[in-house]
Amino acid sequence: MPSFRTTRRVRHSAEEMFDLVADVEKYPLFLPLCEGLRVRSREERDRLPVLIADMTVAYKIFRETFTSRVTLDRDERKIQVAYLDGPFSHLENRWTFAPLPNGGCEVGFYIEWELRSRTLSMLVGAAFERVFRRYAEAFEQRADRVYGSRPALA
């Protein structure tokens, strides 16, 4: 099953980055290929906020909407996304936010996926890794815009 993992050291705090990633409704403003995002519901499960959200992505002739359950665990500094419905047979991703001594944080992103359609997989599969790299950069750039640019980490 294809997967992508990255860890980035950013100049913003773990709390700031958690808040930025948790604010899913803002994704269409800055996230490449994200055409729309709608939160269907918000609830609490095991004392954690849980969102059910539809995200529409578009790439060339490919345009799909999929539904995910997003679990926000602020105390553990983790965001877990579980796939519910759409063009994938499997999709899961995790975010982690580890504070650094200098005030920045290390953001971990992991995603694994498998598309239902072999044809669609062949068309867009190779582009997924590039897209996920762009996603990581987009979140860091968004943090600079929202929280202000800060000096590089030592």
Non-local (6+) Cβ contacts of 107 within 8 A are: 7, 8, 9, 10, 17, 95, 96, 97, 136, 139, 140
Q: Report strand pairing: 34-45 vs 3-10.
A: unpaired
The tens digit of pLDDT for each residue in 27-36 reads 999 998 899 9
Q: Where are the beta strands (DSSP E) in 15-61?
A: 34-45, 48-59
pLDDT value, residue 125: 62
Query: What superfamily in CATH does domain 3-147 come from?
Result: START domain (3.30.530.20)
Domain spans of the chain? 3-147
User: What is the DSSP-derived secondary structure letter of residue 153?
Assistant: P
**Residue-averaged pLDDT of the chain:** 89
pLDDT tens digit sequence for 71-115: 999 999 999 999 999 888 888 999 999 999 988 999 999 988 887
